[in-house]
Structure 1
Amino acid sequence: MPHDISAAVLPDYDRPFEVRTVQLDDPRPNEVLVKLVATGVCGTDLGVQAGHTPFPLPGVLGHEGAGVVEAVGAGVSTVKPGDKVLLSFTSCGVCRNCKLGHPAFCQYFLTLNLIGGRRADGSYTLHEGGEPVNGHFFGQSSFATHALADERGVTRVSDDADLAALAPLGCGIQTGAGTVLNILKPAPGTTIAVFGAGAVGLAAVMAARLTSVERIVVVDIVQSRLDLAATLGATHPINSRDLDLTQVLLDLTDGWGIDYAVDATGNVPVIHSAILALAPLGELALVGAPPVGHTVDLDVNFMLSGRRVIGVTEGDSTPQLLIPALIELIAQGRFPLDKLITPFDFSNINDAMSALKDGSALKPVLHFA
């Protein structure tokens, strides 16, 4: 039987969230019912609110949930009631990419995570007053006291885990770290540049610090973020305001160019500058997403020197593999995620969204009483 929960419902684009009582289904065979302890706030949530991502509304967002399992569906075998878990994106598990170990590039990723609002079979997980409410956001919709999560997006953590400190691993942090560790895999003695010193970009910086690169360049226009990046491992923080960014990067590398780059801005002029600064065989990973329809002009001949531009989703992560690895790095003091987090009470979700939008908080984390 559906049961009442408290959820932050987004009624329409460019509107504030409204905390309401809604009804959540019981778990189906592949689903896990989780009581949330905390959930991160991500730029993708902000993108839906702004209307850049066409998630159907009214709906419940949230996709970096952390909590305790209350019940499991009949087919669930990896977690049990009482387990602490982190929630991440979902995937079908049967398409070619899923079978090859790339669930972040699932054939049905957009429908299951970003634009569907419902389960794969078209059914709703949430209702309000008998009317459906769009949910199943990244297979969870964790802006609520309880979430129904697909088992494929659930990662069990230790019983003594600090869930509020680990919640952001579900999306943004694994995206930045995974882009470096899973996709770029920088070679020793090379240069990597990260464009955008938000939570995703700084996660990429922390991951790059774990490798044997020679230089970690971070580009942003907010000095406080660059100062933080320097404490996290950036060797060359660059405030690009009023600079010819491509020329600065070429000068930094004696004209050779940067070997690896991560764009976490989604800013088309920045992306263009990053491409023009690539060294022969250089690789640019695109993580930030501009609104649909934006393009970048490229001289094909420039790309013939082996330069590559790679689109990235979720750091090409398998959550049950990468998230535990990042947790161990955090425990060792080698991945200081805590420096990015600002806590908010769940009831203050609109303050958290505003703080993310204006940059006063890099990674807001909502806490449930």
Structure 2
Amino acid sequence: MQTNTAAVKDAKVKNSMKVKAAVVNGVNEKYEMEELTLSELRADEVLVKVVATGICHSDEALRIGDAEYPMPAVFGHEGAGIIEKVGSAVKDLAVGDQVVMAYDYCGTCPSCRTGHPSSCKDWTPINFGSPRSDGTYIFTKADGTPVSNFFNQSSFSTYTITYANNLIKVDSETDLRLVGPLGCGLLTGFGTIVNGLKPETNSSIAIFGTGAVGLGALMTAKIEGCSPIIAIDIHDSRLERAKELGATHTINSRVENLEERIAEITGGIGVNYSIDTTGISSVMKSSLDILTIGGSTVPLAVTPNSLEFNPFTELTLNNRKVVGVLMGDAVPQLAIPKLIQYHKEGKFPFDKLVKFYKFDEINEASEDSNSGKTIKPILIIDEDYRKDEPVMES
């Protein structure tokens, strides 16, 4: 009995503290900077001081109500930071480690144990705002109101509590101000290519939407030897960036006839693969319509919109596939170090997509992302991190 009592005490590393967080208090409300209480650190948890975080379209989709989410909430799921404290049950992580944060997963279900943690049987309840197993919350307001977290990470905060499965240790040379977006948007684009579609060398691909996910997929398609690589958008500036990153062809679908251009590029047969990142029903349908016989398409966006088609005439007769891929079906602990290495080698120059903002500028950063002005906003939360050094470049 004494041993059990000691274990219970050891499981609570006392760490109740105040943090500054960007809180969304209701659907379609702006981010509000608030002081929240961070709960005690438990044996299986890790306290991370957040250095920087990307803003992802998924944060915006939940903020505006495209998917139901318990409010108030602290979003953010592309964080990078430094470990401040480690619970007694956590192995292979230590105070001072630099980490990128990604999604959480149980680690014990059949999907997790066969290398597909984004197919974890408990993925949704683990990552989408549920409290701990005992009903407590990591964040609370001064009056005791619980605040939902996101991806068991909630990186829109100066400090956060997370789990070992969320964390990817990176070397001390890695600049944490840059690498947070590797935890979701860029990971999704990368993994959709290498794990979801697995394209053959010289196979053709069309990518609808040239935001961070689409361009992450585009850069990976280039690495994998796809050709042609067709980028489709309605913003010429983004299409120019797509050319810089590896697109062999671009189509502005606002002013060009999509089907005619695809036929011209592919000799009338269509593309082997397509990805949609827009979530617009008509665009998702186009991503299916332009496929060749035996082609596959992946609809990636977090969207309330539907994709309607006749499965016999549009799939079966042409041996086509619509493929669901969550988080790139990637193991973050393996994929993110590979992406950092690709970046060092100049193969994955995602730094060309980013613009940096102060934490207090989160609403401006979100608006710039929505308008297309900024492809990937990154919030600098710890402005003292490497204060006298420029952000690393490719």
> Aligning the two structures, in what range does the TM-score lie when normalised by the shorter sequence?
over 0.9
Determine which of 75, 93, 102 is the counterpart of 2:116: 102
The corresponding residue for 1:343 is 356
The corresponding residue for 1:64 is 78
Question: Structure 1, residues 312-366: CA drift from partner, whole Å, max 9, x if none?
Answer: 1110011000000000001111110100011000011111111111111110000
Determine which of 305, 312, 323 is the counterpart of 1:300: 312
- Describe the SS at the equivalent of 2:189: helix
State how far apart, in whole Å, the 2-side matches of 1:61 and 1:27 are. Answer: 20
- Offset at residue 244 of structure 1 (A): 3.8
Is contact 1:26–1:33 with CA below 8 Å preserved after alignment?
no
State how far apart, in whole Å, the 2-side matches of 1:104 and 1:201 are. Answer: 19
- Describe the SS at the equivalent of 1:60: coil
State how far apart, in whole Å, the 2-side matches of 1:263 and 1:22 are. Answer: 37
Matches within 5 A, 1:14-163: 14-114=28-128, 116-163=129-176
Question: Structure 1, residues 57-110: CA drift from partner, whole Å, max 9, x if none?
Answer: 111111011000000111111211000000001111122211221111112222
CA RMSD, 1 decimal: 1.4
Q: Does 1:249 align with 2:259?
A: no
- Describe the SS at the equivalent of 1:288: coil
Is contact 2:37–2:140 with CA below 8 Å preserved after alignment?
yes
- Offset at residue 54 of structure 1 (A): 1.4
Question: Structure 1, residues 176-233: CA drift from partner, whole Å, max 9, x if none?
Answer: 1110112211111210111100111000011011012221000000110000000000
- Describe the SS at the equivalent of 2:224: coil
State how far apart, in whole Å, the 2-side matches of 1:120 and 1:298 are. Answer: 42
Question: Structure 1, residues 257-302: CA drift from partner, whole Å, max 9, x if none?
Answer: 100111111111011111111111111112113216x232235133
- Describe the SS at the equivalent of 1:364: strand
Q: Does 1:197 align with 2:218?
A: no
The corresponding residue for 1:165 is 178
Question: Structure 1, residues 148-186: CA drift from partner, whole Å, max 9, x if none?
Answer: 112101000001210011111010010011101122111
Is contact 1:250–1:258 with CA below 8 Å preserved after alignment?
no
Is contact 2:67–2:303 with CA below 8 Å preserved after alignment?
no
- Long gaps (5+) in structure 2: 1-13, 384-394
User: How does the TM-score come out when normalised to structure 2?
Assistant: 0.90
Q: Does 1:262 align with 2:275?
A: yes
- Describe the SS at the equivalent of 2:378: strand
State how far apart, in whole Å, the 1-side matches of 2:166 and 2:147 are. Answer: 18
Q: Does 1:320 align with 2:347?
A: no
- Describe the SS at the equivalent of 1:160: coil
- Long gaps (5+) in structure 1: none
Q: Equivalent pairs: percent with the same residue?
A: 38
What is the identity, as a one-letter code, of the residue corresponding to 2:155?
Answer: S
User: How does the TM-score come out when normalised to structure 1?
Assistant: 0.96
Is contact 2:201–2:225 with CA below 8 Å preserved after alignment?
yes
State how far apart, in whole Å, the 1-side matches of 2:162 and 2:199 are. Answer: 34
Question: Structure 1, residues 114-168: CA drift from partner, whole Å, max 9, x if none?
Answer: 2x34234432111111423323311111100001112101000001210011111
Q: Does 1:178 align with 2:191?
A: yes
State how far apart, in whole Å, the 2-side matches of 1:340 and 1:138 are. Answer: 23
C-alpha spacing 1:19/1:96, structure 2 compared with 1 (3 Å) = same
Determine which of 324, 334, 337 is the counterpart of 1:311: 324
C-alpha spacing 1:259/1:354, structure 2 compared with 1 (3 Å) = same
Which one has a bigger Cα radius of gyration?
Answer: 2
State how far apart, in whole Å, the 1-side matches of 2:184 and 2:134 are. Answer: 24
The corresponding residue for 2:8 is none
Structure 1 ranges of 4+ moved more than 6 A: none
State how far apart, in whole Å, the 2-side matches of 1:241 and 1:211 are. Answer: 29
Is contact 1:139–1:149 with CA below 8 Å preserved after alignment?
yes
